[in-house]
A and B are shown apart, each in its own frame.
Chain A
Amino acid sequence: MSKNRVSRRQFLNYTLTGVGGFMAAGMLMPMVRFAVDPVLQSKGESDFIPTPQKVDEITEEPTRVDYKFEQVDAWYTSEETGTAWVYKDEKGEIVALSPVCKHLGCVVDWNTDKSNPEHFYCPCHGGLYTKDGKNVPGTPPIAALDVFPIKEVDGYLYLGKAEPR
Chain B
Amino acid sequence: MKWNSQDIQLFIKEREYIDTAVVPLYPVSFREDMKQSVSMTEFIQLLSGQLEKQFKGRLLMLPGISYLKTLSEDKLTSDLKEWEDELISQGFKHIFYITSDSDWKTVEDKLTGGLIWMPSIPLENMDDQYKNSILDDQVKQLLNLFVRKWQNND
- Interface positions of A (Cβ within 8 A of B): 79, 81, 101, 103-107, 122-125, 140
Contacts and interface: CB of A to CB of B under 8 A. Distances in A.
Contacts of A123: 55, 143, 146-147, 150
Contact of A125 (B54, B58, B136): B58
A136 to B, nearest CB: 16
Given A104-B17, A140-B17, A124 B57 contact: yes
Interface of A is mostly: loop
Contacts of B17: 103-104, 124-125, 140
A105 B56 CA distance: 6
Interface residues of B, number: 17
Interface in B1-36: 10, 14, 17-18
Interface of B is mostly: helix
B53 interface: yes
Given A104-B14, A104-B17, A124 B55 contact: yes
Contact of A79 (B56, B128, B136, B147): B128
Contacts, number: 40
10 contacts: A81-B136, A104-B10, A104-B17, A104-B18, A106-B54, A107-B53, A107-B55, A107-B56, A123-B150, A125-B57
A125 B53 CA distance: 15
Contacts of A104: 10, 14, 17-18, 56-58
Given A123-B143, A123-B147, A140-B17, A106 B132 contact: no
A101 B53 CA distance: 11
B9 to A, nearest CB: 12
A107 B50 CA distance: 11
A47 B10 CA distance: 28
Nearest to A109: B143
Interface string B125-146: 0001000100010000001001
Contacts of B128: 79
Contacts of A101: 57
A106 B14 CA distance: 14
B46 to A, nearest CB: 11
A106 B150 CA distance: 14
Contacts of B150: 123
Contacts of A124: 17, 55-58
